[in-house]
Structure 1
């Protein structure tokens, strides 16, 4: 099955227009709705994500992808990296993704976030190669720190897409409220980007309680504690956060 996605773009080149975070979240939601579930109502699996991304239609352009998890992956200078996304003029319309199996071994959370990040590159960077078949593109994810600390625009875009694909605002808020209530934690009204009408945690929440809540939410969504902490901040689900 081909999954169709769309967002504002240059009709001639296929390149994305400057996109706000909310637009990236909406594109992520389009794909998330098409990903098969493996029993959890919250967490996605790497296998299901790869399957959904094998054939995409992005803004009307057909993009296929191939994935390799079996090799060590290196950048041009020879240092080992976490993952590589590239297009090649000899294979127009095909995204080539390599994920370093050694670096993600026994780290299902890192595998999941790496896969989601590389799908972000497929969605936003591959369409231009369809419009311009002679164009070669390559991006490298050098390590886990790149998944939440990137500076380049394409990497930040892939990270924001990744975050909303794996941990969307409203499902995270729903689980946050449920778990906070079960722990008897105080909540308050404040502006946020989650589920309308629901309260958020106050900034005065005890650190130990917040850490326990973050760990529980990480288990719900199959990601790391740090991943959840970043999404809570991005969605303003702790009062006073303005990221």
Structure 2
């Protein structure tokens, strides 16, 4: 299947122009609609994502994606990493993406977030890299929390923000959060946010144990970790004051 996306870019090189978080969420929404066409539920797993993205077309530039989810992965120094995205002049118009099978074993949430992060590199970094003669190599650190952090490198921040919105987009996440919050009788308030407009957000003074139960339920809905939910809720401002207790 081919994933087709459009975003502001430099026509000559294919490199993305500076993209706001909201712009990255919009690209993630394009991908999610295509990858989940005909699927039920809210979770987008690694296997479904890989099946949907055997090729991408970013702003008209076609890139074949060769995925490997079956082997260990290391960086150029031999250190184990969660995943890598490579381009090689000897394989034109191709992105080589690997997810470390050993490190994500038993963690479908980590497999999905790693695959989504690497797909972000394919969409935003590979189109420009294909026009250069040198081999390009990008790796994800061995620490799972790195996929949730706003790390320094612009390309890593971009891939992380894309990944977060792809697996847990603002409006669906907001709606499921409210469904579980109402079932638990949690209090909601009106406040600015990036979710479903007109809907409330969680109040800051709800019992922490009840909130934790809601977070766990939402994590189950989307096939992600509870920490992932907390990060996305903060990014979308879905709780009064910004952070869940």
Same fold (TM over 0.5): yes
2:138 alignment counterpart: 139
Taking the aligned partners of 1:135 and 1:29, their CA distance within structure 2 comes to 32
1:166 alignment counterpart: 167
Structure 2 contact 3–52 (Cα < 8 Å) conserved: yes
- 1:39-78 per-position Cα deviation (integer Å, ceiling 9, x unaligned): 5421112111011111111011001100112221111222
Taking the aligned partners of 1:175 and 1:156, their CA distance within structure 2 comes to 26
2:201 alignment counterpart: 200
Taking the aligned partners of 2:101 and 2:204, their CA distance within structure 1 comes to 39
Structure 1 contact 186–201 (Cα < 8 Å) conserved: yes
What's the secondary structure of 2:242's corresponding residue?
Answer: coil
Structure 2 contact 62–93 (Cα < 8 Å) conserved: yes
Task: Determine whether 1:27 maps to 2:27.
Answer: yes
User: What pairs up with 1:1-243 in 2 under 5 angstroms?
Assistant: 1-36=1-36, 40-130=40-130, 132-143=131-142, 144-149=144-149, 150-241=151-242
What's the secondary structure of 1:140's corresponding residue?
Answer: strand
What's the secondary structure of 1:76's corresponding residue?
Answer: coil
Taking the aligned partners of 2:107 and 2:2, their CA distance within structure 1 comes to 29
Taking the aligned partners of 2:173 and 2:57, their CA distance within structure 1 comes to 28
What's the secondary structure of 1:73's corresponding residue?
Answer: coil
Structural RMSD (CA): 1.4
Structure 1 contact 56–64 (Cα < 8 Å) conserved: yes
Taking the aligned partners of 1:223 and 1:217, their CA distance within structure 2 comes to 8
What's the secondary structure of 1:80's corresponding residue?
Answer: coil
What's the secondary structure of 2:238's corresponding residue?
Answer: coil
Aligned length in residues: 241
Unaligned stretches of 5+ residues in structure 2: none
Taking the aligned partners of 1:140 and 1:31, their CA distance within structure 2 comes to 22
- Bigger shift: 28-37 or 107-116? 28-37
- 1:66-103 per-position Cα deviation (integer Å, ceiling 9, x unaligned): 01122211112221111111101111210001111000
Unaligned stretches of 5+ residues in structure 1: none
